[in-house]
């Protein structure tokens, strides 16, 4: 074996080791940030039945975070968020419902329009539903809830795994909020959603510190 071959193998081995260490360090940092986000809000997240029986506060709005809309309407996950939001609103705890999602970025895709119609079908008065068509992420939805819609207090309704980050983001923008985990009518949450949320919590932690766009 030539001496140069051994040298390159040594360099390659050290490079791989450094990359592995950096990857592990990144994973540990993400894990810590996830714990910060989750622990900061876990005492303020309720199931629907607990919220219905124990809440005594009044809020400016119920905020519903959007997700996938299919050709025939909201996906099962989004439908359950909306059913939960309707039930929360009907307790009389808020003045209106803010539905937030993507209705501008993708042609022929109207997330908030589908959400609005679903809530109307659930018996929510049309005048008490406000749409934010540029809620393109959880961070942007909460930023705009304050910046555009002047919301100071809110009940945040979304899927369980998404609740901690949603409440965390809202509070980092000064919204006094609690979370309500959406009911699950039987759909299976894919593992991908948990992986994505693990990364998104770290991302939003940083975003909420520097507040880009605010």
The pLDDT confidence band at residue 7, using thresholds 50, 70 and 90, is low
| Dist CA 194 CA 201 (whole Å) | 11
Average of per-residue pLDDT across 153-182: 97
What average pLDDT does the segment 198-210 reach? 96
For the chain, count helices (H), then strands (E).
7, 8
Instruction: Give me the percent of the chain exceeding a pLDDT of 90.
Output: 79
Q: What is the pLDDT of residue 151?
A: 98
Q: Where are the domains of the chain?
A: 39-210
CATH fold of 39-210 reads Rossmann fold (3.40.50)
Instruction: Give the pLDDT confidence of 34-62 residue by residue, as tens digits.
Output: 999 999 998 999 999 999 999 999 999 99
Question: Structure pTM?
Answer: 0.90
The helix/strand/coil state of 159 is coil
């Amino acid at each position: 074996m030539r001496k140069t071959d051994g040298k390159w193998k040594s360099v390659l081995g050290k490079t791989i080791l450094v990359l592995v260490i950096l990857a592990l360090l990144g994973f540990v940092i993400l894990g810590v940030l996830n714990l910060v986000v989750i622990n900061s809000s876990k005492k303020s997240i309720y199931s629907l039945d607990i919220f219905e029986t124990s809440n005594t506060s009044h809020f400016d709005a119920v905020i519903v975070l959007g997700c996938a809309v299919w050709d025939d309407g909201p996906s099962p996950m989004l439908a359950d968020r909306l059913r939960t939001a309707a039930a929360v609103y009907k307790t009389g705890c808020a003045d209106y419902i803010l539905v937030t999602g993507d209705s501008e970025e993708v042609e022929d895709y109207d997330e908030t329009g589908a959400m609005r119609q679903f809530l109307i079908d659930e018996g929510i008065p049309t005048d008490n539903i406000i749409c934010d068509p540029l809620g393109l992420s959880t961070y942007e939805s909460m930023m705009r809830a304050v910046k555009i819609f002047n919301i100071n207090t809110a009940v945040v309704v979304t899927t369980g795994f998404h609740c901690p980050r949603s409440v965390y983001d809202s509070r980092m923008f000064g919204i006094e909020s609690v979370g309500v985990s959406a009911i699950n009518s039987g759909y299976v949450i894919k593992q991908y959603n948990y992986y994505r949320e693990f990364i998104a919590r770290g991302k939003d932690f940083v975003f909420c510190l520097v507040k880009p766009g605010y």
